[in-house]
Amino acid sequence: MRINRVLVLTAAAALIVALAAGVLAADYPTRPIRIINYVAPGGLMDVTTRKFTEVAAKYTNAVFVVENRTGAGGLVGMEYVLNQPADGYTIFAPTMSVVIQVVATRSDVDRYIWGFEWTSMLMKDPECIITNSKLPINTWEDVVADAKAKGGRQIWVGPSTGGNDHLMAMKVWDKAGIMATWIPYESGPAAMAALMGGQGVAYVGNPADIMGRPDLKIAAVSSAERLPQFPDAPTFRELGIEGLDEESMWRGFCVKKGTPPEAVQWLQNLVDQVTNDPEWRQFFENQAIEVVHYKTDRFTDIVRQNLEDAEKYFRQFGIIQ
C-alpha cells in the first residue's frame, strides 16, 4: 500500500508539472515582451530589432517593446537584462561586438556570456576591408605592398579599440603577414569619413558601408564566393589568404539563463517564421547580409569560438595581458 501511495503521489506531481508547463505554453505571452538594444536608436541592431517586430506582427498578436539601454559597449544592456526575471519577457539583442567587448574589458565571462541562453542567431554580415578609390593605395595588393614598406606604420581606421572590427584587422594582419597601426574613432561613420579624407589606408567594416559612398570600394571580403550584390569585390581566398572565409558580424537574440523552455521555443518558432518571410529576407539580402536562424546549440558554439578568437588575438597583439 505504501509503495502504491508513493507511485500515485509521484504521478500526481508529474501531472501537475506537466499541466503547469502546458498552461505556460498555451498562455505565453500574456504581456508585452521587451527587446533590449545595447545601441542607440538608428544603430544597426536597433534597425534589426524594429524590423523584426514589424515582420513578426504578421505571425503573432504578441506585443513587442524595443528599448535602448546604451553604455560600456553593451555591458549596460546585458546587466539590465540579467537583473530581470528569467521569465521570457525580456530579450537581449546582441551582436558579436558585445561578446568581444566582454573579453577586451576583462569582464566576467561566466556572468555576461554564460548567464545567457543564446537562443537565435539571425544573420551574418560579412566582414570586409574597405579602401578609398581616390587614393593611390586602394587595391588589396596595394595595401599589402604599402604595409610591408611602412613596417607597421600604415594606418587602418575603425570604430573603437578592442571591438569586432579591430579583431578582424588583427586576423587579417596575422593571415596576410603584415602589420599596421589601428586608429579608433567614436563610430563607424566617423572612421569612414577619416578614410574618405585620406587619414587612413583601410577601414574594416561590412559591404553595406560603401552604399551611398561612391569613393569607397571593397578591397577584400570575407566570403567563400563573391557577393552577388558586389561582384567586383574579391574574396580573401581569391587573393591567396586562407582562413578568412567565414568572418562576419552576427546579430541575434538571447535570454537570461533559466528562462522557461516553452518561452524559448515560442521565440524560436516565431524567428523561424520571420526568417522565411520574403520582406525580411529582401530587406537584409539587398545589403549582402546572409539571413540565417541558428538555434541554441549552434549559436552557442559560435559564441564560444568568438571568445577563443578574441582571447588569442588580443593577447597576441597586446590588447590584454
Same-domain status, 35 and 75: yes
In a domain, 259, yes or no: yes
Same-domain status, 185 and 260: no
Which one, of 42, 59, 39, lies nearest residue 271 by Cα? 59
Same-domain status, 118 and 253: yes
Coil vs helix vs strand at 55: helix
In a domain, 231, yes or no: no
User: Which CATH number is 260's domain given?
Assistant: 3.40.190.150
Query: How does DSSP classify residue 289?
Result: P
**Torsion angles phi and psi, residue 71, rounded to 5:** 130, 145
Decide which of 173, 201, 221 is a domain's last residue: 221
Same-domain status, 83 and 103: yes
Separation of alpha carbons 121 and 298, rounded Å: 9
- Domain span holding position 69: 31-125+249-316
Distant-in-sequence, close-in-space partners of 313: CB < 8 Å, separation ≥ 6: 167, 170, 171, 174, 319
Decide which of 185, 205, 221 is a domain's last residue: 221
* Structural domains in the chain (count): 2
In a domain, 13, yes or no: no
In a domain, 158, yes or no: yes
In a domain, 49, yes or no: yes
Q: Please, are residues 309 and 167 in contact by the beta-carbon 8 Å criterion?
A: yes
Same-domain status, 63 and 209: no
Q: Please, are residues 103 and 310 in contact by the beta-carbon 8 Å criterion?
A: yes
Across the beta sheet with 90-93, what order do the strands follow? 64-68, 33-37, 90-93, 248-256, 116-126, 290-294
Same-domain status, 102 and 135: no
Q: The whole model's pTM is what?
A: 0.89
Distant-in-sequence, close-in-space partners of 90: CB < 8 Å, separation ≥ 6: 33, 34, 36, 81, 84, 255, 256
Separation of alpha carbons 152 and 150, rounded Å: 6
Same-domain status, 39 and 108: yes
Q: What pLDDT was estimated at residue 85?
A: 98
In a domain, 53, yes or no: yes
Full pLDDT tens readout for the chain, 321 residues: 444 444 444 444 444 434 444 444 568 999 999 999 999 999 899 999 999 999 999 999 999 999 999 999 999 999 999 999 999 999 999 999 999 999 999 999 999 999 999 999 999 999 999 999 999 999 999 999 999 999 999 999 998 899 999 999 999 999 999 999 999 998 899 999 999 999 999 999 999 999 999 999 999 999 999 999 999 999 999 999 999 999 999 999 999 999 999 999 999 999 999 999 999 999 999 999 999 999 999 999 999 999 999 999 999 999 998
In a domain, 117, yes or no: yes
In a domain, 159, yes or no: yes
User: Which CATH number is 147's domain given?
Assistant: 3.40.190.10
Cis amide prior to 278 (ω within 30 degrees): no
Same-domain status, 99 and 134: no
Same-domain status, 106 and 169: no
Across the beta sheet with 216-221, what order do the strands follow? 181-185, 155-159, 202-205, 128-132, 216-221
